[in-house]
Structures are given as structure tokens and as C-alpha cells.
Amino acid sequence: MTTPINDFDTLQNQLATQVSLLSYEESNFLHENSLIFTLDVQYVGERGFIACDIQTLGGAFMWVGIVELACTVPYTPQYFGFRETPLLVETITRIMQLEQLKPDLIIIDGHGIAHPRRCGAASMVGIALQLPTIGCAKEPLLKYSGTLGNQRGEFLTSYIGNEPVGRVLRTQTGIKPVFLSVGHLFNIEKATEIILHLSSAYRISEPLRRADQYARAAAKQEQLPQMRFYESISK
């Protein structure tokens, strides 16, 4: 059954009011051993292969957890977050339960509040789990203006009206940018620092690159080192 777009609109607008943004000082709780979950999804038909990269902020890579799930929400243009969020939440919940781990920060390959309705998948995941989340995407959902400097660390601010909601961030000198926004319980300045810290050599941060690589491999039924498969909570 297809959910009416008006229902998606109403729910997404309601969720947007639940997003909490923190100050820089409030977001300054991470340290070298802080645990970061980073997630990406690949699809084969109506099944999602979700990869959850697990590492510390200091760069100690642990493993990538894989969960395969049936999609419960059909694809609807402009409302992709409703399709992807249940897969992400279930994967994170399953790994937390089985491994007795709690992430200090979750990074989603997608958008947070830099979204036409101020609530992308990164925000939905953060609200559902009440954990800090940020979204880091390869393509923007919002228009932006200005000339982005060529050097690593330079950024432009994305706005909805007069409200700053995200950043167009150059992670490597001379390489095209990524599109960063807070999902929930975090701060954009701190998120910028974190993504730059994790992007030591490439445009895409190391955990996001791994999550993408492992999700693609899982979708092809390929095995990679440090890949762990988890049964889903609900098939």
C-alpha cells in the first residue's frame, strides 16, 4: 500500500520540530576513543543491504556490520528518508543489542536538516534513537550560492530562507565538495571538524567510503575482511 504524499509531508514536518541542535560547547563531548557508527545502504530490488562501519574517532577501525532487510516502505520521489530510515534504525539497534555497544555519534550517507522539509534520514534516525547524528551526502538537496574556495576546509553555508541549515564543505583541495548537515543532537561547526578529521586522503571520509564499499560487496554476496553479518530483528 502506498502512503499518500500528504501524510509524508505532515509526518516529516512534525518530525522536523523534534530536531535538537546543540551549541559547539555542548557538542564537544567526543574524544579519541569515542565510538562512531557510519552507515550506507545498497538496494537490490526491494531488499536493502545496510553496512554499519564501526571505528573510534581516533581512527581505530573495528569491523563493518551487515544486515539485509526487506524494504517496508515503497520508493517515493522526494521522500526517500521514509524508505531508508527503518533499515538504518533496525541495523543500529541490532548491533547495539548484540554487541553491547552504544555509538557516541552516527554518520549517515544522506542529509539532516539541509532538506526542503528540514528533516532528512539523518534527522529521522537521530530522533528515533535519541542519539547524535550528522548527514554527509555526495549531492545537495538545496540550492546554494557563492563561490566555494578551492582549499581543504573551506565551505559555503546552505540556507532555507534566512535559516542556516548546512554546509557545502571542501574536504580536499581541488576536489568537489560534500554536503554536510546536523541530523540531531549535534552542532554544524563540530560536525565540520569531525568530517575533516575523518577525511584524511579522499573526498569522502574513511568510514563513509568503507560503509559504501561493504554495502556494495554485501549486495553482490561478496565477503570482505572484518565483515560481520547480523540477523535482522524482523525479516
Would you kindly state where each structural domain of the chain is located, as residue ranges? 11-134+182-229
235: pLDDT strictly greater than 50: no
pLDDT, tens digit, 9 for 90 and up, residues 128-172: 999 999 999 999 999 899 999 999 999 999 999 999 999 999 999
pLDDT, tens digit, 9 for 90 and up, residues 40-68: 999 999 999 999 999 999 999 999 999 99
For residue 107, what is the enclosing H or E element? strand 105-108
CA torsion 156-161-164-167 (nearest 10°) is -30
234: pLDDT strictly greater than 70: no
The whole-number average pLDDT for the span 188-206 is 98
pLDDT, tens digit, 9 for 90 and up, residues 9-20: 899 999 999 999
Between CA 132 and CA 98 the distance in angstroms is 20
Fold of 11-134+182-229: archaeoglobus fulgidus dsm 4304 fold (3.30.2170)
Please, are residues 169 and 177 in contact by the beta-carbon 8 Å criterion?
A: yes
Q: What is the pLDDT of residue 77?
A: 78
